[in-house]
Amino acid sequence: MRLLPLVVTVVFTVAVAYYIYIPLPDAIQEQWKLMLLDAGFRTAMHLASLKHWLGIDHYVTSIRGSTSVFEGTMKGFMSSESGSAVIPGVKVSDIEFVGIPVRLYEPPAGGEGHLRRGLMYFHGGGWALGSGKKGSYDANNRIVSDELNTVVVSVEYRLYPEVHFPVPYLDCLAAAKHFLSPEVLAKYAIDPERVAVAGDSAGGNLAAAVAQEISLDESMSVKFSVQALIYPVLQALDFNTPSYIQNQHIPVLHRTLMVRFWLQYLGADLSLLPQLMVNNHSASHHSTITPELRSRVDWTTLLAQKYKKNHKPVIAEKGSNEDVKVPGLLDVRASPLLAGPEVLAKCPRAYVITCEYDVLRDDGLMYARRLQDAGVTVTNDHIEDGFHGSFSFTTWPMEFHVGKRMFRGYLNWLQNNL
């Protein structure tokens, strides 16, 4: 009988190890930490799906709840209150810009002259999760405000399932226009020649789309000086780019999860996921997807050979399946990579972070290339050992060396270019 507890313990330990362990490229550092993080996220998703199936809660709000519990457990380390103690000189205010909640960070008195820099930030989370008021988003924005003498505005745009496209984009655009108004800039002593827009992942999508629209708006007397896009998601036509295939199982953004985020954001039927995985939604017979439009996301010409490797394009042929309807699929407000060269030419100079082990790597690389081709000055900071989400992993217990290095690179670029 004494043997039974030992057997149970061994079996349980092996099962847990099997659940946690996933093979990762050698270049990724702190692998077990990433595996544990991914296992925790997968567990939260599995439990959320179960609760959704049982009719207890929507799976997205359930995941948010799990995150809140985790943050409450780690209170004093990750919550927004902890950030207040890190940089006590930064004034933080939760206010509204034209009815949209924002968190405003004002640097301590003094700094480099009377006028200060300005930066608007959109957090990531697949247009469904996340908040700029929590964790590393809050901590990093405080650091930017303090070290760069910058007034930072973090926008709490509305999320799925409460809303879908174009509502998050319209929230961000409205907040951006308000921020760039001469009255608001004067109120916070911001130099109108030194205002940036930035975001990561889905927030990078929103930042790129808002930057495009502001650049085209002749009614705006002040426009963004620079844009900083951190592993942005920029297109939904091709889910078989080399990076989508190479990194489809790399934490924390698996290929299937990114496709699901897109379906949710665009308000499409989630049952279409298998069709999008094989690019049936962008089949060659779709008359609305012109050759010119396809060229704007053609990785065979926009990527360097070292990223293309031996991958082949996946284009569904006519008759492979019946038409798959996805609303907003070709809307540049949702997919900034689809914008024409005449639009890109008006965009502000850009800083684009891409990670080698990220399904979105090629989105960022293609956008950087197209901006450059349109005459925009672009700095592409490619992180050879980076993975999706690492920019946000800078606070304990989700602290990675690569994330801190990425954040410092972002900070240095803003210091020299804004």
The CATH number of domain 83-234+340-417 is 3.40.50.1820? yes
For 309-345, write each residue's pLDDT tens digit: 999 999 887 655 566 889 999 999 999 999 999 999 9
Compare 86 and 399 and report the one with higher pLDDT.
Answer: 399
Burial tier of 45 (Cβ tally within 10 Å: 0-12, 13-18, 19+):
middle
pLDDT at res. 321:
53
Contacts of residue 220, defined as CB under 8 A and 6 or more positions apart, other chains included, come to 177, 180, 214
More confident residue, 109 or 171: 171
Q: List the structure tokens of 401.
A: 């060396």
Percent of the chain at pLDDT > 90 equals 75
Domain ranges of the chain: 31-73, 83-234+340-417
At 318 the pLDDT is 63
Whether the per-residue pLDDT at 14 is higher than 70: the answer is no
Q: Provide mean pLDDT across the span 167-188.
A: 98
Residue type, 354: T
pLDDT at 295 over 60: yes
How many C-beta neighbours within 10 Å does residue 30 have? 17
Length of the chain, in residues:
418
pLDDT at 76 over 50: no
Q: Distance (Å, rounded) from C-alpha 304 to C-alpha 366? A: 10
Q: Distance between CA atoms of 206 and 197, rounded to whole angstroms?
A: 10
Q: Residue 199: in which H helix or E strand, if any?
A: strand 190-200
What's the whole-number mean pLDDT along residues 102-115? 80
Sheet holding 100-106, edge to edge: 91-97, 100-106, 150-155, 116-122, 190-200, 226-230, 349-357, 378-387
In the chain, the N- to C-terminal Cα span, in Å, equals 70
pTM of the model: 0.93
What SS3 state is found at 371?
helix
pLDDT confidence of residue 114 = 83
**Mean of all residue pLDDT scores within the chain:** 90
Per-residue pLDDT at 209 exceeds 80? yes
Over range 370-395, report the average pLDDT: 97
User: What are 2's two structure tokens?
Assistant: 């004494």
Of 75-89, 93-107, 133-147, 275-289, least confident by mean pLDDT is 75-89
**pLDDT at residue 72, rounded to an integer:** 47
- Catalytically active residues are 201, 358, 388
Cα–Cα distance for residue pair 206/204, rounded to 1 Å? 5
Lowest-confidence segment of 20-24, 266-270, 284-288, 414-418 by average pLDDT: 284-288
